Amino acid sequence: MAERLLEIRDLAIDFAHPRPAVNGIDLDLDRGEIVALVGESGSGKSMTARAILGLLPEGARARGSIRLEGQEVLGLPETELDRLRGERVAMVFQEPQTALNPVRTVGWQIREALRAHRKVSRREARARAIELLARVEIPEPEVRVGYYPHQLSGGQKQRVVLALALANDPVLLLADEPTTALDVTVQAEILELLRGLRDETGAGILLVTHNMGVVAAVADRVVVLKTGDVVETAATGALFAAPAHAYTRQLLSAVPRLPEPGDPVRLVEPVATVGEPTLRYEDASVVYPGRHGQAAFAAVDSVTLALAPAEVLGLVGESGSGKTTLGRVAAGLVPLSTGSVWIEGEDLAAIGRARLREIRRDLAFVPQDPAASLDPRMTVAESIAEPLDIHSVGDRAARRARVAELLEAVRLAAEHGSRLPHELSGGQRQRVALARALALRPRLVIADEPTSALDVSVQAEVLALFAELQRELGFACLFISHDLAVIYEVADRVAVMRRGSVVESGPIEQVFANPTHPYSRALIAAVPEPVPSSPAGAGLGEMAS
């Protein structure tokens, strides 16, 4: 018989701006229960969580009712809220890099959290801090308690954030995208930890996430939000098995998936390997010299890799694996320390600047961040036409025609051409970036995480578009991503990178079905599948790091 912890009725949040955040949400959460609040950007899921703590941004106003253990918390004065925050309800935030105070030690921050609610001596606080750090499985807590945040890894930081949240034994934990910024292997560990804590303390957890895999891995129940409205509430198993609402179905289908054992192997047309590869790395290394007593650091370490014409090579790895650097090497943005990189049979280091420009005509680059992928001062049409302008392709009319053609190719209306980037959505901007990359009909496209900042449904559309264009235009592509499922969706071959080296490469179906390197295996295993595991989600977690 579960005890009702949180009861949200008819919650609506208004901004002074025209955008309504939340329209009337109902949500219940019991002690010991993990409820996932799922939705895409702008669905209001974060605002809902923040409303529980009274931490809405300036100008936002909440109406309705939020009852915590039967007590109405909406509209409590600030001092009352301060008593509630951290003590009964705690929150874990998305970005562990910035969620901690950079100039205070971990121990200090925990002490401050304790002091907010009770008198503690320095010694008691330290003891409690060490206990908490041990509880969130930070090794050597006696040492780490004196560390500053920057001395910890991303995963450890998130554990510290968790420790802070647990400091005063709250009954309700709000976790706002707690693993989004983390690598998959770390994500798996944190999710495991969350579940363990729930089991241990019996606290309720409201998990705010956009990731269906995460939902499947840990949640007991799911609440699906779409632009401020609850579209579906169901037990996790039921939801995944039989999504009732069309939006939920769409959301689920948009999630890129890895092959299940027994799935039909994805059909990859064999790529012709005759002639020069479009891109070839020969024992390529990028070493950043050690400065001021720090050791030299090899971002890319002796990589040998080839990309055939019209082939899509997925480059996958966790943060710091060197995959982005390798992409920038091919684009000529980063010089090699040793080894060589060849484009269509020419050594980039050996040719002159003029030849390099010519080669670059056949090259394109799609950057990651949609906010920075376009010059904010140039209209969409100007941005797309820029490569044509650079190489003075055709006359003005011809260029205009080409821009129209490209807009159409990336499924944008002609009137988008006169817009400025900030007037577009993230997905639209990445499409413009794609159109711009394709303007000169390149033979090689380097795409660095082109979809990782997008919502799943948008990502699905962009990926589909990309695949279609690639088939149509037949360019070779180096596709860089941390997301194995995305790679699986678009790539013909895959190379797995770790600490600057390629640990495994091969045709996609081979690597995903039978990874030979232990790291590839761990990486693939850590991906939370958007399929609910058995009630406790067994099978997740144990892995080498």
Site for other proteins in 431-470 (CB under 8 A): 433, 436-437, 439-440, 442, 446, 453-455
Q: Determine if 106 is a binding residue for other proteins (CB under 8 A).
A: no
Cβ proximity to other proteins: between 385 and 496 the closer is 385
Range 331-350, binding other proteins (CB under 8 A): 331-333
Identify the burial level of 271 via C-beta atoms within 10 angstroms of its C-beta, where 0-12 means exposed, 13-18 middle and 19 or more buried: middle
Say how far apart CA 195 and CA 179 lie, in whole Å.
13
Say how far apart CA 424 and CA 430 lie, in whole Å.
10
Cβ proximity to other proteins: between 477 and 524 the closer is 477
Beta bridge partners of residue 494, listed in sequence order: 314, 506
Q: Determine if 103 is a binding residue for other proteins (CB under 8 A).
A: yes
Range 187-246, binding other proteins (CB under 8 A): none
CB 206, CB 35: distance < 8 Å: yes
Contacts for 298 with CB less than 8 Å, ≥ 6 apart: 285, 286, 287, 288, 500
* Window of 66-74, 158-166, 304-312, 466-474 that interacts with other proteins by CB under 8 A: 158-166
In whole angstroms, the minimum distance from the beta carbon of 388 to other proteins comes to 10
Q: Determine if 483 is a binding residue for other proteins (CB under 8 A).
A: no
Among the listed residues 65, 250, 340, 425, the single contact to other proteins using CB under 8 A:
425
Among the listed residues 155, 421, 500, 528, the single contact to other proteins using CB under 8 A:
421
Say how far apart CA 334 and CA 237 lie, in whole Å.
48
Three-state helix/strand/coil letters over 330-397? HCCCCCCCEEEEEECCEECCCCCHHHHHHHHCCEEEECCCCCCCCCCCCCHHHHHHHHHHHCCCCCHH
Among the listed residues 6, 167, 279, 524, the single contact to other proteins using CB under 8 A:
167
Cβ proximity to other proteins: between 118 and 123 the closer is 118
In whole angstroms, the minimum distance from the beta carbon of 227 to other proteins comes to 11
In whole angstroms, the minimum distance from the beta carbon of 18 to other proteins comes to 12
Contacts for 432 with CB less than 8 Å, ≥ 6 apart: 373, 374, 380, 383, 384, 410, 412, 416, 421, 424
What's phi and psi for 332, nearest 5 deg? 80, 15
Q: Determine if 151 is a binding residue for other proteins (CB under 8 A).
A: yes
CA dist list (Å): 306 to 336, 470, 534:
16, 18, 42
In whole angstroms, the minimum distance from the beta carbon of 239 to other proteins comes to 23
Alpha carbon 360 to chain centroid, angstroms? 30
Cβ proximity to other proteins: between 61 and 441 the closer is 441
In whole angstroms, the minimum distance from the beta carbon of 459 to other proteins comes to 12
Picking from 447, 438, 543, 474, the residue whose alpha carbon sits closest to that of residue 278 is 474
Q: What six digits make up the tokens of 115?
A: 């002091």
Say how far apart CA 316 and CA 324 lie, in whole Å.
10
In whole angstroms, the minimum distance from the beta carbon of 533 to other proteins comes to 29
Q: Determine if 499 is a binding residue for other proteins (CB under 8 A).
A: no
Picking from 232, 221, 214, 133, the residue whose alpha carbon sits closest to that of residue 176 is 214
Q: Determine if 502 is a binding residue for other proteins (CB under 8 A).
A: no
In whole angstroms, the minimum distance from the beta carbon of 350 to other proteins comes to 18
E-strand spans in 178-296?
Answer: 204-209, 221-226, 229-235, 279-288
CB 125, CB 110: distance < 8 Å: yes
Cβ proximity to other proteins: between 279 and 503 the closer is 279
Cβ proximity to other proteins: between 313 and 503 the closer is 313
Q: What does the radius of gyration of the chain's CA atoms come to, in whole angstroms?
A: 25
Q: Which amino acid is at 449?
A: E
Among the listed residues 272, 390, 414, 536, the single contact to other proteins using CB under 8 A:
390
What's phi and psi for 61, nearest 5 deg? -135, 130
In whole angstroms, the minimum distance from the beta carbon of 391 to other proteins comes to 6
Among the listed residues 68, 136, 163, 165, the single contact to other proteins using CB under 8 A:
165
Alpha carbon 531 to chain centroid, angstroms? 19
Q: How many residues bind other proteins (CB under 8 A)?
A: 93
In whole angstroms, the minimum distance from the beta carbon of 419 to other proteins comes to 12
Say how far apart CA 388 and CA 322 lie, in whole Å.
31
Range 292-321, binding other proteins (CB under 8 A): 292-294
Cβ proximity to other proteins: between 43 and 285 the closer is 43
Q: Determine if 386 is a binding residue for other proteins (CB under 8 A).
A: yes
Q: Where are the alpha helices (DSSP H) in 148-183?
A: 154-166
Range 8-37, binding other proteins (CB under 8 A): none
State the CB neighbour count (10 A cutoff) for residue 363.
23
Range 253-282, binding other proteins (CB under 8 A): none
Q: Determine if 137 is a binding residue for other proteins (CB under 8 A).
A: no
Tokens 């949400």: give the residue: 25
In whole angstroms, the minimum distance from the beta carbon of 528 to other proteins comes to 21
Q: Determine if 387 is a binding residue for other proteins (CB under 8 A).
A: yes
Cβ proximity to other proteins: between 101 and 514 the closer is 101
In whole angstroms, the minimum distance from the beta carbon of 364 to other proteins comes to 6
In whole angstroms, the minimum distance from the beta carbon of 522 to other proteins comes to 22
Contacts for 534 with CB less than 8 Å, ≥ 6 apart: none
CB 256, CB 455: distance < 8 Å: no
In whole angstroms, the minimum distance from the beta carbon of 430 to other proteins comes to 10
Among the listed residues 71, 153, 253, 273, the single contact to other proteins using CB under 8 A:
153
In whole angstroms, the minimum distance from the beta carbon of 374 to other proteins comes to 5
Range 47-76, binding other proteins (CB under 8 A): 53, 55
Among the listed residues 9, 67, 104, 245, the single contact to other proteins using CB under 8 A:
104
Range 360-379, binding other proteins (CB under 8 A): 360-361, 363-378
